[in-house]
Structure 1
Amino acid sequence: MDAKDTPAHHTGEVTLRNRIVQAATAITSTNGWSSVTMGLLAETIGVSRQTIYNEIGSKHQLAEEVVFTELQHFLALVDGAFQSHPDDLVAALRTACRDVLVRSAESPLIHAIVSTSHGARHELLPLLTTQSATLIDTAKSVLQNRISPMTRPLAEKELATATDVLVRTILSHVMQPSASPDETADNMAWLARQLLA
């Protein structure tokens, strides 16, 4: 996905696009992504199918919108963690990791994405795995901007590498948890301390 095609999530206004994405998210969370059709979305929102196509484009573009809208919720948790710990990088990262993992564990959408049922594995999952470059780049940019003023002096390449490791590790735990959110957050805090503190 080119930069010009990256879904926009900078407005709090409930636009038609927002309503379409919210409806698609709700249907996916309940019945799986394969249940999402332009016709069902049109019926749910009260507009024509052509209006859905005109606003969103293809179903693949809708999938990107759904995933990137969910990403914004996670990035808001990261921002909140750093605002809560403005002078403690490791504590901020630990809180961010824990909050992200708690939300992912409770998210019906994430559960639907990683589930092998409803055909979700074949359509939404790649956006978090094999086709996740844009998602990872977005998360890395946000995290790196937060980390940079708080860490010891690092070359730009070193900071980018450390951020890449943190983002990919957290994403792997979102997709396949191996411990409780608290335990994983403690492990991530240790890793951040080695890399950055």
Structure 2
Amino acid sequence: MAEVTADYEDAISSRSRIIAAAVRLTCADGWSKVTMGRLAGEAGVSRQTVYNAVGSREDLAEAMVLTESAKFIFTIVEGFENHPDDLLAAIHAAVENTLVLAEGNALLRAVVSATHGADTELLPLLTTHSEPLLGTLMVVVQDRVDQYEIDLEPEQITAVIDMVVRSALSHVMQPTATPRKTADSITWFVARILGRAGELTGSRA
């Protein structure tokens, strides 16, 4: 049993290394330059290990999109979980951390750009996964926001969430300020809607 567990963990580790290597190569040189042989060298594994771990080249592309999307979602969730009693602080953390994550990550920006209908040659399948990503983000944020007491009607809360998510995504694609300043602005806007602008302090004021 211990040997089976070790083999499983090795397979998971190899898959993670291969996907991470594929992201690096894609961001550096574009998807068209990513071959299974080059990927094996970058990840430090054999070509057969690459095929065993990720399947076809199309499977690899899909795994890359899903992996980057999962990072995005985890960062948002983490922001809320770190501030269970302060909605404004949670929004600020989720937005700022997401924008920091996106800095220098061309693939993540391409995935997000596809949610706004942008055409990108960086990686195929982006348009296929763009709408599910946007819908997933809306659901994830809604689930977290529902844990706070908010003096708005449900449809109004949904409208605010839509504004925050779409605004944050637009800044992922085209940043106009530092992640912190952008998070300050978005949080200030939400605070104004909630009538809680007076609660903002420090960088969030």
Tell me by how many angstroms 1:158 deviates: 3.4
Residue in 2 that maps onto 1:178 = 176
Percent identity over the alignment?
36
Q: 1:51 to 1:75 in 2, by over 3 A?
A: closer
Q: 1:24 to 1:80 in 2, by over 3 A?
A: same
Within 5 A, what are the aligned runs for 1:34-45?
34-45=32-43
> Given the two structures, how large is their TM-score scaled by the length of structure 2?
0.69
Q: Please, what is the CA RMSD of the aligned residues?
A: 3.4
1:68-114 CA-partner distances (Å, limit 9, x unpaired): 21222232322222232221111111121111112211436447879
> Given the two structures, how large is their TM-score scaled by the length of structure 1?
0.71
Q: Residue type of the partner of 1:152? A: I
Q: Extract unaligned runs of 5+ from structure 2.
A: 1-8, 113-118, 197-205
CA distance in 2, matches of 1:113, 1:80: 20
Within 5 A, what are the aligned runs for 1:5-20?
14-20=12-18
Matched, 1:95 2:93: yes
Q: Residue type of the partner of 1:71? A: S
Q: Extract unaligned runs of 5+ from structure 1.
A: 1-10, 115-119
Q: Paired residues, what number?
A: 180
Residue in 2 that maps onto 1:4 = none
Residue in 1 that maps onto 2:77 = 79
CA distance in 2, matches of 1:91, 1:58: 41
Bigger radius of gyration among the two: 2
Residue in 2 that maps onto 1:23 = 21
1:117-161 CA-partner distances (Å, limit 9, x unpaired): xxx93243882x785111111222221111111141544443333
Q: Residue type of the partner of 1:164? A: D
